[in-house]
A and B are shown apart, each in its own frame.
Chain A
Amino acid sequence: MSVANTDHAHKPRPKREKHYYEDWIGKIYTSICVVFLIVVIISIVFFVASKGLTTFVKDGVSPLEFFTSGNWNPTGDEPAYGALPFIVGSFTVTILAALIASPLALCAALFMTEIVPGKGKRILQPAIELLSGIPSVVYGFVGLTVIVPLIRSIFGGTGVGILAGCLVLSVMILPTITSIMADAITSLPGGLRESSYALGATRWQTITGVVIPTVLPALLTGVVLGMARAFGEALAVQMVIGNAPHVPHSLLESASTLTSVITLSMGNTASGSVHNNALWSMALVLLLMTFIFVLLVRLLERRNRV
């Protein structure tokens, strides 16, 4: 920079520099916040993956045994690390919960948007928001004190098991699915609906013939996000599912999920032991499933735009 400038040439300078200085502060500050997010996610993936892979790389547990054997006995004389019961348990409760919750959520969404748009929204919207605000341990507590005794008195047995787990989960994921479905249906251009009515179609014909087919990918997005929530939910499921380490053969049988076994055993195993590392491998499976769910949502969103 040249110093030989006269005074009047200097005058506009300070103002401009303050301008730049302010902009830099803003840019650097907000960028640091974003970089922090990226660092966090990379470290989560790195640490969980490195711990989770130790089981297979260092401890010599074969991945084939881990994913396909139903024999989980890490404390026995001949320890066995088959995680299949937990993987099966997780998928079973997730899919059943989605099967129960999705039709209910679709009805709620249609009620809010197609049947009684103004009033329906005013009744259901707060209900949905409140449902999503109830903490998961409270769902677990209600499941334990209402659903489990109910199942016990109807079907006999202990009452804890897959059925109790998926009932609790289905109420938990209901708000997620409903709000996404309702948003999707609301965003539908009004002209489509009106032209269907103009052709003389009934409301139900409009819903099944025009509304649902048009927003189907977005509706499925809601279901996938609900499933993602159900798959990762830990405490509520752990409280009602019974936590038995075997592949269940009926809905009333006690079972385990990946999350429930991690919750129960992580605190009782020594860090670095094979048992502990196997739990980390399950956490890695949870992590990978999250990526798969996000990928599915992305694919569905791309379909939606076309």
Chain B
Amino acid sequence: MKPKTVDRIATGVIVTFALAIVAILVGLLGFIIFRGIGHISWDFLTSKPQNLRAGGGIGPQLFNSIYLLILTLIITIPLGWGAGIYMAEYAKPGRITNMIRLVVEVLSSFPSIVIGLFGLLVLVNTFGFGFSLLSGALALAVFNLPLMVRTTEQAFRSVPKAQKEAGLALGLSKWKIITSILLPVALPAMITGTILAAGRIFGEAAALMFTAGMSSPPLDFTNWNPFSERSPLNPMRPAETLAVHIWKVNSEQLKPDAAEIAAGASAVLVIMVLLFNLFARWFGRFVYRRMTAAKRMD
């Protein structure tokens, strides 16, 4: 065969496969959303689930997911940003830095179920936190930290060198340069990375099954005292999240309308993750405009 014919055939094959991937995505999203959207209503989003009868919603699960996400971010942001800054600004090339890099790499490749088991062993049993939001948030923090460290480091490294040199020329301390010159420039990318990571932890289930638990106690949504037993804000209560709920409904199949509930909950989960993605992009650009004089972000 002539090389030109081969080239044309190969191009055709590549284009077909690439379009097939787009088709898979469109099909997947379309299926999830259209299958579930009919089931989503205000009542579905706010009411309690039923165990054996048909009907019931995902109210507590949705609340748990959001609350757990906030708790996780409170833990990971100071730690992840701090470690990222260390890697970008303080770490000197050498054996120790290589080792830390390896640690971050290994930590980010651990299967989430192993992190869940570690949480079960150490947080739930050894530390005695029990199946609780706190255990879940700490396990998710382990899961989330490496990602956060990496995006922060990249954000700091992408700041132009001249900015730092200008700070040094002014005789500022290193920490002052980091917090008042580099951080404002790096912040949009850091926030975008954080929100994207938040989308990922929102849908995480395997690490939570053994830490935050697979049940929700009856919650009293008028009680906002975080130390009260039935308060939704109590961090020491077990909490089943939306993703765990989908898994449970699918694998137990006790309810007559389990498939419908799973479809509705999946649609909610996917729509939330999509919103996180869109919001991350918009917010990153917004902060960038606020923090700098630039009109556009390239």
User: A-side interface residues toward B, CB under 8 Å?
Assistant: 18-20, 22-23, 25-27, 29-34, 36-38, 40-41, 43-44, 47-48, 51, 103-104, 107-108, 110-112, 115, 120, 123-124, 127-131, 133-138, 140-142, 144-146, 171, 174, 178, 201-205, 207, 225, 228, 231-235, 238-239, 259, 262-263, 266-267, 271, 280, 283, 286-287, 290-291, 293-294, 297-298
Q: Is the CB of A47 within 8 A of B111?
A: no
- Inter-chain CA distance A23–B176, complex, in Å, is 8
- Inter-chain CA distance A238–B103, complex, in Å, is 29
- Inter-chain CA distance A129–B78, complex, in Å, is 26
Q: Which residues of chain B from 221 to 275 have any CB-CB distance to chain A below 8 Å in the complex? A: 243-244, 246-247, 250-251, 259, 262-263, 266, 269-270, 273-274
- Chain B residues, Cβ within 8 Å of A123: 22
Q: Measured between C-beta atoms, what is the minimum distance from A276 to chain B in Å?
A: 11
- Chain B residues, Cβ within 8 Å of A103: 17
Q: Is the CB of B111 within 8 A of A234?
A: yes
B105 lies within 8 A of chain A by Cβ: yes
- Inter-chain CA distance A47–B118, complex, in Å, is 7
Q: Is the CB of A202 within 8 A of B6?
A: yes
B4 lies within 8 A of chain A by Cβ: yes
Of B25, B145, B178, the contact of A127 (CB 8 Å cutoff)? B25
- Inter-chain CA distance A22–B172, complex, in Å, is 10
Indicate the member of A27, A37, A115 with the most B CB atoms within 10 Å. A37
- Inter-chain CA distance A144–B28, complex, in Å, is 13
User: B-side interface residues toward A, CB under 8 Å?
Assistant: 3-4, 6-7, 10-11, 13-15, 17-18, 20-22, 24-25, 28-29, 31-32, 35, 78-83, 85-87, 89-90, 100, 102-107, 109-115, 117-118, 120-122, 125, 142, 145-146, 149, 173-176, 178-179, 196, 199-200, 202-206, 209-210, 214, 243-244, 246-247, 250-251, 259, 262-263, 266, 269-270, 273-274, 276-277
B196, closest chain A residue (CB): A133
B277, closest chain A residue (CB): A133
Of B80, B111, B117, B199, the contact of A133 (CB 8 Å cutoff)? B199
Q: Is the CB of B145 within 8 A of A37?
A: yes
Q: Is the CB of A271 within 8 A of B86?
A: no
- Chain A residues, Cβ within 8 Å of B203: 133-138
Q: Using a Cβ cutoff of 8 Å, how many contacts connect chains A and B?
A: 250
- Inter-chain CA distance A306–B96, complex, in Å, is 23
- Chain B residues, Cβ within 8 Å of A294: 102, 105-106, 109
- Chain A residues, Cβ within 8 Å of B24: 131, 171
Q: Is the CB of B25 within 8 A of A141?
A: no
Q: Is the CB of B29 within 8 A of A34?
A: no
Q: Is the CB of B111 within 8 A of A290?
A: yes
Given the contacts A22-B173, A235-B206, A33 and B82 also touching, CB distance less than 8 Å: yes
Q: Is the CB of A127 within 8 A of B22?
A: yes
- Chain B residues, Cβ within 8 Å of A174: 21
- Chain A residues, Cβ within 8 Å of B87: 34
Q: Is the CB of A104 within 8 A of B250?
A: no
Q: Is the CB of A30 within 8 A of B14?
A: no
Q: Is the CB of A33 within 8 A of B86?
A: yes
Given the contacts A129-B277, A290-B110, A283 and B117 also touching, CB distance less than 8 Å: yes
Q: Measured between C-beta atoms, what is the minimum distance from A119 to chain B in Å?
A: 11
Q: Is the CB of A107 within 8 A of B122?
A: no
A289, closest chain B residue (CB): B111
- Chain A residues, Cβ within 8 Å of B105: 294, 297
Q: Measured between C-beta atoms, what is the minimum distance from B170 to chain A in Å?
A: 12
